Amino acid sequence: MTRFALTYEFDGTPFQGLQRQKHGPSVQQAIEEALFKVTGEEVTLLSSGRTDAGVHAMAMVSHVDIEKDLTPFRLMEAVNAQLRPNPIGVNRCEIVSEEWHSRFSCIGRRYLYRISNRRAPAALAKNRVWQVVPQLDAEAMHRAAQSLVGLHDFTTFRSTMCQAKDPVKTLDRLDVERVEGLFGPEIHIHAEARSFLHHQVRSMVGCLKLVGQGTWQEERIAEALEARDRQALGMNAPPHGLYFVEAIYPEGQK
């Protein structure tokens, strides 16, 4: 039995999320079915994170145990061939130790949220950004975001469906910047933590958008956090602007 770590990207638009779902297609299901076609084995894909329906990933990391004798390159090429036409691409495959676990060995996760801040429709970035037409004040959003960095009770910013036992998390980074790119002006929100609550990033982004457009004063973010009440939440950002960017592991692992 060999344990393989897979690093892959996907467009979350046609999926009900990364994890297997009873009510629709998932990224996990697509990869497991591709692995079955390659190996003839029914395997379970275990991942470093979860994503909601419509959320994308740049470098999701998962692992799988396989009995068939395959090199990492051959496995990666075969799985990619079987995944077509699903918008999933495995770009790295490597053998890891039996003790290594994509989820439990992970010490950090990074997310990016993209807001297209222009009037013209985001034709090429459809389903990949949240389009907000009024100009947003990225500097005010960044200042307000700093009140969320650190160890806090994030009850206000967690889904009512969140299964985490404890709402207390340490947010290591929440930076907001305005970027002038190929697709016009965008607001990028960078979030990093060891782990996140369900909908935490989208909830934080939704409230920061209210600050950026002047609906909320900057201090309202800290007040919402202190309330520890979901009723204090301003809004949830839609899923299609969110990207899982990176799973971080201790140096020398994986």
Q: Which residues are catalytic?
A: 52
Give the other-Cβ count within 10 Å of 68's Cβ: 12
User: How far apart (Å, rounded) are the C-alpha atoms in residues 208 and 187?
Assistant: 11
Three-class secondary structure of residue 185 per DSSP: strand
Contact 229, 158 (CB under 8 A): no
DSSP of 89-141: EEEEEEEE-TT--TTTT--EEEEEEEEE-SSS--STTTTTSEE--SPP-HHHH
Q: Which residues of 45-60 are buried (b: 16+ CB within 10 A; e: fewer)?
A: bbbbbebbbbbbbbbb
